[in-house]
Chain A
């Protein structure tokens, strides 16, 4: 733990607060799903724990953490996309209702 990390934390929290307070209440549920998917980043720590071969306990715990974090990432991004697709579809101006390009991997 270093002072630099504290800087990162303070600035990231501030930035997050600034951005997220502008999210309309319309999108609050997708926002929760989205931040959960991004919180799946704890996979990064899980991968290191599961792959460092330090001891069996750490490997097993790391493995379980990888499973939990991966299912959160995969499920989280898919479900967020599903929700946001609905909001895109409900666009005021009809005609532009086609799905955005480059989204083939996350179709439900």
Chain B
């Protein structure tokens, strides 16, 4: 009877999770969907708490209280601009939980003098390998995103060989523990090596490649919870783990497509390592035209269609509110404003959308690359705010460029282009951007927030 009740609670939870995920396909339904999922979570927790295997509630209550105390500010206090590192950190926590459960499971079997079956060991092994890699990788990713660690790629000689060898070593240990589940030395060595591998995997990744990495680690962590479900024979873990894993997988595929990297290339962690010294076009002999705030404001004020292209620079300057203010002013004067969001703009999938939504930009003004690219020909001004590689025409026409083949926003098709940029430094990828030297382009140098504040004031005066 009790078992039936537990299973029923898991069934209800699974249905509510799936409905919650389904809600995410519609912005107006999403919130209600996630509230359903939260109710589902409650069902699953209550169902588990009546499990007859649980005999001592002291540690459970303590853990639930402590977790709530830690989690509540993580939900309410974290600003939207810190979302990428917040997501990375939550991946750490979910992978950590899966890993710890796996270790506890293994230790209990060994301490009781029994040896896990090969099948159970396979599940445990995968769980802990994926979990440990995710923990190591997401900690480094969060550190880089928070800029506690250098966000530039950390590279050294022989890095790829070392990573490859370490990965082979982990796989060998995994195979060995599955064939000899009693060998705890191999099991614990595998955990340590997988943690180290996670760290080494993400160290050479630069900021601009973070969306792919975060999505990929998301799918690893989902698969780790899935494997936990197999290891302890719990169906709801398998279901939610698959949802999580599928979401991470889809996002990594989308991200790698948007960067023109093959998915296998991404899967084996070879991303961020394409920095061969391909001779990109140099800037010699070309001049940039810089523009004053006043002139840029006049251009914007009289434009019929302005397409705004936000990039990581907008996030760094936290200029999303000024962007919204400017777009409202242009609209008040009768112009039309659209936002063009490249899939890998920013540091995580959907980064720009969240920031603009925070600033109250209606989401029907935000457009995907495919939707908006045809409209640039009609645009009077393409306003590029702290974006670089995603508008670099070299991706289209310079086969020697590291970003060649990457789909980009057709900012260069607009009648004129205004680029808000801090200075003339090359973009993240270290590539010159010929868009900046286009005769149609004018550069407005300075901090994005300050420039936008100036533009808002000037457009008001026009």
Residues in chain A within 8 A of chain B (CB atoms): 1-2, 5, 8-9, 12-13, 15-17, 19-55, 57-92, 100, 102-103, 106, 108
Interface of B: prevailing SS: helix
Q: Which residue of B lies closest to A12 (CB)?
A: B242
Cβ proximity bits B90-131 to A, threshold 8 Å, 1 near / 0 not: 110110111011011101100110000001101100000000
Q: Which residue of B lies closest to A36 (CB)?
A: B90
Docked pose: A26 CA to B301 CA in angstroms: 28
Q: How many pairs, one residue from A and one from B, have CB atoms within 8 Å of each other in the complex? A: 392
> B60's contact among A2, A47, A84, by CB below 8 Å, is which?
A47
Docked pose: A86 CA to B361 CA in angstroms: 9
> B94's contact among A19, A72, A103, A108, by CB below 8 Å, is which?
A72
B362 x A79 contact (CB < 8 A) = no
A9 x B74 contact (CB < 8 A) = no
Interface of A: prevailing SS: helix
Residues of B within 8 Å of A12, CB to CB, are: 238-239, 242-243
Does B426 reach chain A (CB closer than 8 Å)? Answer: no
Given contacts A16-B247, A34-B34, A51-B60, whether A42 and B354 have CB atoms under 8 Å apart is: no
Does B442 reach chain A (CB closer than 8 Å)? Answer: no
Q: List 21 A-B contacts (CB under 8 A).
A: A9-B230, A16-B244, A19-B18, A20-B247, A26-B363, A35-B222, A41-B17, A44-B234, A45-B234, A45-B237, A66-B60, A73-B67, A73-B71, A74-B72, A77-B41, A79-B74, A86-B360, A87-B27, A90-B357, A92-B362, A108-B75
Residues of B within 8 Å of A103, CB to CB, are: 31, 35
Docked pose: A40 CA to B93 CA in angstroms: 8
Given contacts A45-B228, A49-B105, whether A78 and B72 have CB atoms under 8 Å apart is: yes
Docked pose: A74 CA to B292 CA in angstroms: 48
B349 x A32 contact (CB < 8 A) = yes
Residue of B34, B54, B249 with most chain A CB atoms under a 10 A cut-off: B34
Residues of B within 8 Å of A40, CB to CB, are: 41, 93-94, 97
> A13's contact among B24, B34, B242, B341, by CB below 8 Å, is which?
B242
Residues of B within 8 Å of A43, CB to CB, are: 45, 48, 97
Given contacts A32-B218, A41-B240, A81-B34, whether A70 and B27 have CB atoms under 8 Å apart is: no
Q: Which residue of B lies closest to A9 (CB)?
A: B238
A90 x B360 contact (CB < 8 A) = yes
User: Taking the nearest CB of chain A, how far is it from the CB of B82, in angstroms?
Assistant: 10
Docked pose: A44 CA to B302 CA in angstroms: 59
Residues of B within 8 Å of A26, CB to CB, are: 27, 350, 353, 363, 366
> B30's contact among A20, A22, A30, A69, by CB below 8 Å, is which?
A30
A57 x B71 contact (CB < 8 A) = no
> B100's contact among A24, A25, A46, by CB below 8 Å, is which?
A46
Residue of B51, B215, B357, B358 with most chain A CB atoms under a 10 A cut-off: B357
Docked pose: A86 CA to B93 CA in angstroms: 25
B354 x A29 contact (CB < 8 A) = yes
Residues of A within 8 Å of B57, CB to CB, are: 51
A51 x B55 contact (CB < 8 A) = yes
User: Taking the nearest CB of chain B, how far is it from the CB of A89, in angstroms?
Assistant: 7
Residues of A within 8 Å of B218, CB to CB, are: 32, 35-36
Docked pose: A80 CA to B49 CA in angstroms: 25
Cβ proximity bits B1-27 to A, threshold 8 Å, 1 near / 0 not: 000000000000100011011101101
Docked pose: A87 CA to B254 CA in angstroms: 22
User: Taking the nearest CB of chain B, how far is it from the CB of A30, in angstroms?
Assistant: 7
Does B166 reach chain A (CB closer than 8 Å)? Answer: no
Docked pose: A88 CA to B358 CA in angstroms: 11
Residues of A within 8 Å of B56, CB to CB, are: 51-53, 59
Residues of B within 8 Å of A49, CB to CB, are: 100-101, 104-105
Residue of A42, A62, A79 with most chain B CB atoms under a 10 A cut-off: A42
Residues of B within 8 Å of A16, CB to CB, are: 21, 242-247
Docked pose: A68 CA to B62 CA in angstroms: 12
Docked pose: A31 CA to B348 CA in angstroms: 11
Docked pose: A61 CA to B333 CA in angstroms: 62
Residues of A within 8 Å of B105, CB to CB, are: 49, 58
A86 x B357 contact (CB < 8 A) = yes
User: Taking the nearest CB of chain A, how far is it from the CB of B415, in angstroms?
Assistant: 27
Given contacts A43-B45, A45-B234, A90-B360, whether A25 and B343 have CB atoms under 8 Å apart is: yes
